[in-house]
Amino acid sequence: MTSSESHSGERIEDRPLPPRPDGVPVAGNTVQFVRDPFAFYDGLAEYGDVVSYSVAGEEFCTLLHPDHVEQVLVTDEASFGKSEFVQDAGDFLGNGLLLSEGDHWRRQRTRMQPAFYRERIASYAADMADFAAERAASWDDGETVSVLPGMKELTLAILASSLFDLDVRGRSSAIRDATRAINDKADAGSVDAFLPDWVPTPTNRRFRRAVDDFDDVIADLIAQSRGADEAGDDFLSILLTATDDDGETMSESDLRDELATFLFAGHETTSLALTYAWVCLSENPDAREKLHAELADVLGGDRPTMADLADLEYTELVVKETLRRYPPAYVVFREAREDVEIGGYRVPEGTTLTLPQFEIHNDERWFDDPEAFRPARWTEEMAESLPDYAYFPFGGGPRHCIGMRFAYAELQLVLATMAQRVTLDRVDDGPLDRRMGTTMEPEGDVEMVVTER
């Protein structure tokens, strides 16, 4: 297929543009989007599975069909790149693995892959369960806790210890402040998301300060690791000692960008998944009872190990269903590098494509009663009949999440460890409000009451 030919063999330039909701000249759909991005996204489906609109002068096209997701992430992935829109917003991640492209990305991904092999993940399992047990023990019976900060601290400690062999517990507030400022800055319901960093809004000032503090922590971590007597075989040591074809080690700035990327991408998403899992379990006592029964049966009160995970089948489905219902990475962004045909339409070069997991995972065309939390829906038969890419919490194709196996092991081990010791019941019982930042976060505190088991 040449770049001017569509899948059907017709010329792409003869294809119609995708339908678009009414907007106003110049501002496009900015006001509708910023006022309520959830309602805006929900409203797109009435225009079809390929819908275009403009926000803040940027041309977007949202894809709502799994086949289109597969086309963008896998089949025709070479026609799409990481979107400039996201690269600008994620400036503080620099040229780290999440945002880099081309040969640099390929070289870095190859270098880092060994840290995520199955046997390496197994070596992190004890830390995952130990930190989880410590967290559960830190809560008192009857105490009301704010779950998200607790889960962020936990996943950050796990990440730093397993990947970097460092104890960040004293430094976690700078990292947490930075991730909060980053999410505030990216909040789709705020105009700040569309303003350049140098505009001195309060959010931008907080963002700049937080990124500076974050950089100080990273510099310290690098110094701490370089000062170690011998190079370890942890991820940070791989980064410090890896050489390219010319025998060069990684530059300071590449190292900084990779650390920023992994500190951010590696703990924020998992802390959200755990928070959502606790909320779903609290709201679904039957599922919680089933989980408790499995844990009693398989573990009998012991701390779970990597070897137990294969037997913790229901625990795995709880994780899987949580990532369906509330995907923490809620949209994958790409940019069309050339004119492309998608679903019979011409999507012009330069358009930012959004592939929204939070819509597709909750679409009744693919999932019965999508708003219900039902881990048991994931039967073999159901999984077989599900179209590929109706479920893609970790993305897909060459740029799929490098931390997927790490995340799955962590989520299962933390849930299995903590749910044996405590139950958490949500204080509010209304729907869970969320906001679209860099990740999809609950709006405000998620308060839960701890009961020791």
Give residues in contact with ligand HEM (CB under 6 A).
97-98, 109, 261-262, 265-266, 269-270, 273, 328-329, 332, 393-395, 399, 401-403, 406-407
| Count of beta carbons in the 10 Å neighbourhood of residue 143 | 13
> What minimum distance in Å lies between the beta carbon of 271 and ligand HEM?
9
- Determine the residue type at 429: D
Distance CA 311, CA 335 (A): 41
**For ligand HEM, the closer CB: 28 or 150:** 150
**For ligand HEM, the closer CB: 106 or 453:** 106
Asked if 79 contacts 64 with a C-beta cutoff of 8 angstroms, the reply is no
Distance CA 128, CA 156 (A): 11
> What minimum distance in Å lies between the beta carbon of 35 and ligand HEM?
26
3-class secondary-structure state, position 274: helix
Compute the C-alpha angle 82/85/86, nearest 5°: 60
> What minimum distance in Å lies between the beta carbon of 24 and ligand HEM?
31
Question: In Å, how far from its chain's centre is CA 288?
Answer: 24
Distance CA 247, CA 128 (A): 35
3-class secondary-structure state, position 272: helix
**For ligand HEM, the closer CB: 203 or 261:** 261
CA atoms within 13 A on the CB side of 374: 12
**For ligand HEM, the closer CB: 32 or 359:** 359
- Determine the residue type at 28: G
> What minimum distance in Å lies between the beta carbon of 94 and ligand HEM?
13
Kind of pairing between the strands at 352-356 and 58-63: parallel
- Tokens representing 3 are 């770049």
**For ligand HEM, the closer CB: 30 or 153:** 153
**For ligand HEM, the closer CB: 28 or 393:** 393
> What minimum distance in Å lies between the beta carbon of 156 and ligand HEM?
11
> What minimum distance in Å lies between the beta carbon of 443 and ligand HEM?
19
> What minimum distance in Å lies between the beta carbon of 15 and ligand HEM?
26
**For ligand HEM, the closer CB: 41 or 394:** 394
The length of the chain is: 453
**For ligand HEM, the closer CB: 333 or 367:** 333
Asked if 48 contacts 62 with a C-beta cutoff of 8 angstroms, the reply is no
| H-helix or E-strand spanning residue 286 | helix 285-299
Asked if 213 contacts 177 with a C-beta cutoff of 8 angstroms, the reply is yes
Distance CA 48, CA 68 (A): 12
> What minimum distance in Å lies between the beta carbon of 19 and ligand HEM?
25
**For ligand HEM, the closer CB: 329 or 336:** 329
> What minimum distance in Å lies between the beta carbon of 74 and ligand HEM?
11
**For ligand HEM, the closer CB: 222 or 277:** 277
> What minimum distance in Å lies between the beta carbon of 413 and ligand HEM?
13
The number of helices, as runs of H, and strands, as runs of E, in the chain is: 17, 12
Distance CA 443, CA 343 (A): 35
- Tokens representing 118 are 């199955």
Which residue has the closest beta carbon to ligand HEM?
A: 403
3-class secondary-structure state, position 144: strand
| H-helix or E-strand spanning residue 333 | strand 331-336
